[in-house]
Amino acid sequence: MHLLTISDKEFHALQEIMYRVSGVRLLPTKKALMVARLRKRLKELGLGSFEEYLELIRQPASGELELFVNAITTNETFFYRHPEQFYFLMNKIFPYCLERKKNDASPELRVWSAACATGEEPYSLAIACQEFFKMHPKWNIIIYATDINSAVLDFAKEAVYAERSMVGLSPYLRGEYFERLAEEPDYKRGRFRLRKEKIPPVTFLHHNLLNPFPYLGMDIIFLRNVMIYYDKPAKQKVTSLVEKNLVPGGFLLISMTETLQDIHTNLRYIQSGSGVYQKG
């Protein structure tokens, strides 16, 4: 079917649009994935070619650009992903923050989950904060979660997750913070609702990492599994912007398979293979 084919010229045009909007460079190996993800959308719109789709995206009033970004961005995640980093958070970073602000009359912890996808990461952070700071009730915990994909933010706000998202949780955390949904059709069995009343609130916001984030003074920023999608100029721009949101001494955590060694930052690598950086 012609609908399922895309020319090199059309793919290049979509590549450039995605890069301009998000900083994400789609590799040629992603062409088949793009066609697969956009196939349904073209059918919904009644379009017979990617040329027609490009015309639509280029019309600002159409609103299609946001839907295009939503379709292409990847959002596979689960609770307590990279548990080593959560161990470091609980045993090193939180105690550091506790000591640093021990003389504050109203101590505050500010956390940002950038590129939060469907919400498992920021909610994991909220659970970790609750577990650690429940013995320190005067602390005010502020958690922001952002993503360029507006559809995943809507999903995250619902806070209902399938069994596959729960693989990283201990039986204690499951029992303490989640409840199984009852009286649902068979195909929805194994879904769990996060008991949001038991954790610090998470504020979800639509945000493009190529733009400044307006909330400063972050003690901890999670920016994991994002750098792999950027080329060096975009990676430099995003990191420089995010770094400005950190307080001196604040921590940036990226994936343990990523690195910032190839760009300029004022961040100090804390531990080899940890993905943890600290602002000087």
| Residue extents of the structural domains in the chain | 2-72, 83-279
Task: Tell me how far apart the alpha carbons of residues 129 and 123 are, in angstroms, rounded to a whole number.
Answer: 10
Average pLDDT over residues 115-127: 97
Q: Would the pLDDT of 144 be above 60?
A: yes
Residue pLDDT, tens place only, 51-66: 999 999 998 888 888 8
Neighbours of 118 (CB within 10 A): 23
- Residue tagged 């697969």 (tokens): 36
Assign domain 2-72 to its CATH architecture. Answer: Orthogonal Bundle (1.10)
Q: Would the pLDDT of 187 be above 70?
A: no
Q: Would the pLDDT of 3 be above 50?
A: no
Assign domain 83-279 to its CATH architecture. Answer: 3-Layer(aba) Sandwich (3.40)
Which among 113, 105, 115 has a CA at the least distance from the CA of 89?
A: 113
Predicted pLDDT of residue 28: 87
Where is average pLDDT lowest: 69-78, 83-92, 166-175?
69-78
Task: Tell me how far apart the alpha carbons of residues 180 and 174 are, in angstroms, rounded to a whole number.
Answer: 10
The predicted model scores a pTM of 0.86
Which carries the bigger pLDDT value, residue 20 or residue 216?
A: 216
pLDDT band, very low/low/confident/very high, at 190 (cuts 50, 70, 90): confident
Predicted pLDDT of residue 40: 84
